[in-house]
Amino acid sequence: MNRGRIALVSVGIVLMLYGGWLVIRDNDPLQLAPWVLGPVFIHDAILAPIALGLVWLGHRVLPRYAQAPALVALVVCGALTAVAGSVLTRAGARPDNPSLLDRNYIAGWFAAIALTLVVAAIATGVNRRRSLSAVRST
């Protein structure tokens, strides 16, 4: 590893340690535990097994040309849902401040998911056409 990378990694580690120290210094560790351990539990106990099950099922059910687009669509839809989770549930909305969460986030989420599925369908069609033309040329 060259010196520039070593310096960059070192600065990153120092900044992470400093940030962790600030969090522990300014907060009660017992109050932080649900926020730190909760997402790990949700991911490892719920989301990862569901994703792995869907990938396994897709591998068994879908034709080969559709597997990669379906997997990418699954990952993108999962990430979109994780990022949009707090606004979809309207966490933090307050009646005394109507400017908070003032959009139709559910419609935006549906539009993003629909666009992802359309792109996956197009990629599946392209992959199918390529696989058919490869079979014909042999």
pLDDT of residue 67: 95
Which of the four pLDDT bands, split at 50, 70 and 90, describes residue 26? confident
**Amino acid letter, 16:** M
Cβ(73)–Cβ(116) under 8 Å?
A: yes
CA pair distance 99, 120, nearest whole angstrom:
35
* 57: DSSP letter: H
Domain boundaries, the chain: 62-137
Q: Across residues 92-119, what is the average pLDDT?
A: 89
pLDDT of residue 138: 67
